[in-house]
Chains A and B, each alone.
Chain A
Amino acid sequence: MKKLLLGNEALAQGAIDAGISGVYAYPGTPSTEITEYIQRSKTAKELNIHSKWSVNEKTAMEAALGMSYAGKRALTVMKHVGLNVAADVFMNMSVSGINGGLVVVVADDPSMHSSQNEQDSRYYGKFAMIPILEPSNQQEAYEITKYAFELSEKVSLPVLIRMVTRLSHSRAGVITGNRLKQNTIKLPSDSKQFSLIPMFARARYKHLVAIQNDLLDISENSYFNQFIKAPNTSIGIIASGIAYNYVMENFESGQCPYPILKISQYPIPKKPLKKLFDTCKKVLVLEDGYPFIEEAISDYLGENRRVIGRLSGDIVRVGELNPDNIANALGFDVVIDESKPSVVSNRPPELCVGCGHRDLFDAINKLSKEMGSQQVFGDIGCYALGVLHPYKSINTLIDMGASITMAKGAADAGIHPAIAIIGDSTFTHSGMTGLLDAVIEKTPITVIISDNSAIAMTGAQDSSASGRLLSICEGIGVEKEHIKVITPLHKNLEENINTIREELNYKGVSVIVSQRPCVQLPKEKKDRLKQLKKVTLN
């Protein structure tokens, strides 16, 4: 049957059809729709496939590994920077290996449409020495995911699937196949496999190194890597993932005159690469993200200028690929009839009308005269828009949870007041541990948790923090009289300013929970939250 699916949804359907027993993930653009598709799937529900959101990417990946330990197939999904959070387990589970098939999906965001960097996850895959798959279109996203589980069990390693924004968020018709049954429970045959104490880990690591040639061999024979012959050998093209589409877009007939090595599986296949080098004068490397392949196959001293791409400067080094920059690389002129008229202004994103973050920023800005400027540390979420006009209330945005710990470091350096603004879900994702650091040292910081009871930026998913914030803060050791709750509404502005001012003056750890549900939440959810709040306050 042909279904209309986003690249992300095609991948999710592939995972369901590969017989997964669970998906573990934390939302993050552009990866979110993979897990949401499985959450909405009737089949997944009937089959009791686990799909609830995890607290962060590390807990997600570890849970997936636990499911794999039990012999079942598991999927774990995150955006590229989420893999930084999960890097600890990621790097170690390639050493332990897996039991049931384990596939890690990471969606990269070249051009930073909704991210703070454009790191390329293929480096992580290489770092962990595991197979990487990189689909070029929606159909391939479906098929490659089924294949990924088979490969994972074959080589007993986790397999990384790398997506990019444009494939994740583009729809096409996808033909789906049959569904495999889930694995039954089967504990690891070697009881030492997952116990990475040094003496066992050394043996496991030796094994990982030893099978690298097998991985190369599998990649060289993979259906997903293809050498496409063509007569004009003045250039040979290497096109990985979606770059292949942009190459072909430039040839109306669907026939590229240059030989192409289409890569969708790694390690980089050596044999066809050698063939390309032997037959072509130059090699043009087209890859979205960092120059990963180009770096591996170029000579460092730059004496041999046969390999060209992003590293050599022949293609723009930053930002995503598109049909136009590839057309230029292929020597075509991009004919643009008109430029953008000068009357067109920029329209950056903004906080929704009626959003509670707005009222919080109003209060913060009123206080900025007395508390000094540049002392508000921000975090990841909708409220990061507080960096921009008209609020300009926030001065930093680095990673999940950094508001609290950066405020702590600044306070240690002598800054006072030091204010952290963090969302409810970001707080449970990575803020709690930093708060404990501050509590232990009684560092004078004021943490404002802007609690909209949702993971709002990615589409208002359920927040793990809902109904738990006050008890978490108390449990961590914040003094009860310095945990305050305010309601960010215009009518409360003066009162809220007073509450915040009082806590700014306190020379210890204060937490102010600024609580009002996200305006994007459906009414039923808001009502449920009201009930929850009543219960918690009682």
Chain B
Amino acid sequence: MKINIILAGVGGQGILTIAAILDTAALKSNLNLKQSEVHGMSQRGGAVQSHVRISDTEIYSDLIPQGKADMIISVEPMELLRYLPYLKKDGFLITDSNPFNNIVDYPNLEALYNEIKSHKNHILIDAKKIAKDLGNSRATNIVLLGAASELIPISEENLTNAIKTLFERKGERIVTKNIDAFNKGKEIAKEQLTAKKV
């Protein structure tokens, strides 16, 4: 078993939280893991990414080679597409549909969506709205993790336990809200994928 995941977003959008959940769950599942992240200047509103590699055999490189990522999970649609050279053939694209527009030449949103939809394996959801409807708009990232969870070979139990571990110190209420976000993301992804098959 080996899975390569690229997490993408803009500095401050919470991709390191997704990474931390995957890390904790992988360690709990007795799997090997390497996860590289970006610190420093680009964290200030710039494009950020994290490479997460999970395997039952030894992992050498901290970076995923180009063309070898099984999926890209992004908190922002344009940032998703930035890392396409890493995606393997027929790999999965999972993203929030809401743009983070802090640049002057942000592209036409329809063009972005069309590019995403041209990929057979994509999950494009309004994760922000889903999180908001659940009463915690900050859990957008967790909705996306939930949406991707069926494709990640780690048990749901270990993933949700990792969410608990991570949010524990923020109190029971926040833990529950994040678990809800995870479950809702999972459910909606399932619907989307089934609809496409039909």
Q: Give A contacts to B, CB under 8 Å.
A: 2, 4, 29-30, 32-33, 113-114, 166-167, 169-173, 242, 244-249, 254, 322-324, 327, 334-341, 343-352, 382, 385, 389, 457-459
Contacts and interface: CB of A to CB of B under 8 A. Distances in A.
A389 B36 CA distance: 29
Contacts of B78: 343-345, 347
A170 B32 CA distance: 13
A352 B36 contact: no
A30 B38 CA distance: 9
Contact of A344 (B41, B64, B82): B82
B5 to A, nearest CB: 14
A457 B107 contact: no
A452 B40 CA distance: 17
A247 B60 CA distance: 9
A457 B41 contact: yes
B44 interface: yes
Interface of B: 10-11, 19, 23-24, 27, 32-47, 57-67, 78-79, 81-85, 87-89, 102-108, 111-112, 115
Given A114-B42, A344-B78, A349-B44, A166 B36 contact: yes
Contacts of B104: 389
A324 B102 contact: no
B41 A114 contact: yes
B43 A349 contact: yes
A352 B102 CA distance: 11
A170 B66 contact: no
A337 B27 contact: no
B36 A345 contact: no
The 4 closest A-B CB pairs, nearest first, are A114-B40, A29-B40, A349-B46, A170-B62
A176 B59 CA distance: 19
Tell me what chain A mostly uses at the interface: helix, strand, loop, or mixed: loop
Q: Which of A245, A337, A351 has the most CB of B within 10 A?
A: A337
B65 A249 contact: yes
A172 B33 contact: yes
Contact of A4 (B27, B58, B60): B27
Contacts of B46: 347-350
A169 B79 CA distance: 21
Nearest to A390: B104
9 contacts: A30-B40, A172-B34, A173-B33, A246-B63, A323-B64, A338-B85, A345-B103, A350-B44, A350-B46
Nearest to A355: B44
B85 A347 contact: no
A352 B38 contact: no
Contact of A349 (B27, B32, B42): B42
B37 A338 contact: no
Given A341-B115, A349-B45, A32 B107 contact: no
Given A323-B61, A347-B79, A457-B41, 16 more contacts: A4-B27, A29-B39, A166-B62, A170-B34, A171-B33, A173-B27, A246-B61, A334-B65, A334-B67, A336-B66, A337-B67, A339-B84, A340-B81, A343-B115, A344-B82, A346-B47
A343 B112 contact: yes
B95 to A, nearest CB: 13
A386 to B, nearest CB: 12
A406 to B, nearest CB: 21
B111 A343 contact: yes
Nearest to A244: B60
Contacts of B65: 249, 322-324, 327, 334
Nearest to B90: A337
A248 B58 CA distance: 10
Given A114-B40, A170-B34, A343 B67 contact: no
A344 B107 contact: yes
Contacts of A347: 10, 45-47, 78-79, 102-103
Contacts of B39: 29-30, 32-33, 114, 169, 459
